[in-house]
Amino acid sequence: MKTPCETIVWSIVPVIKREFAKNLLNISGLTQREIALKLDTTEASISRYISGKRGVLELTDDEISNEIKKSSIKISKENGQTAINEICRICKLIRSKNIIDNIPDTC
C-alpha cells in the first residue's frame, strides 16, 4: 500500500510537470532546455513529459486545467522558485478537490 505522499510524488507531481511542460512549449514558445531550467529538471525529463511517457494520468477538471495554464504563464515570466510554488499550489488544489483517491487534504 502506498502512503499518500508516495502517490503525490509518483503520480500527481509528474502530471503537473507534464502540463507545465506542454503549456510552456505550446503557449510560451520556450525550448525544452528553457523549460527544463524553469522546472529544475533535465531536458530528457521534459522530452518524456511532452511525448506522454511520463505523467500519464489525465486531468479532466476544468478548474485545475485553467489554474495550470495560469501557473504556466507565471512560470514562463519568473524564476525557478516560482515553479516550485506553483507545483505546490496546484497539488493542494488537486488534494482539496479529492480527485485522486487516498490522498487526504491534510497530507
Examine residue 80 and state whether it is found in any structural domain, yes or no: yes
Task: Write out the residue range of the structural domain in which residue 8 sits.
Answer: 4-96
Q: What is residue 68's predicted lDDT score, i.e. its pLDDT?
A: 97
Q: Per the domain annotation, does 16 fall within a domain? A: yes
Rounded CA separation 40/63 (Å): 25
Q: What mean pLDDT is predicted for residues 9-25?
A: 94
The residue assigned the cell 507545483 is 87
In a domain, 53, yes or no: yes
27-62 per-position pLDDT tens digit: 999 999 999 999 999 999 999 999 999 988 888 889
- How far, CA to CA in Å, does 102 sit from each of 24, 43, 58, 94, 106? 30, 32, 17, 12, 11
Residue 103 lies in a domain: no
- Number of domain units in the chain: 1
Mean pLDDT of 20-31: 96
For residue 48, is it within any domain? yes
Instruction: Convert the pLDDT of each residue in 50-106 to its tens digit.
Output: 999 998 888 888 999 999 999 999 999 987 799 999 999 999 999 888 776 656 555
Asked whether residue 22 carries a pLDDT value surpassing 90, the answer given is: yes
Q: Does a structural domain hold residue 18?
A: yes
Provide the whole-model pTM. 0.88
In a domain, 107, yes or no: no
Do the domain assignments include residue 52?
Answer: yes
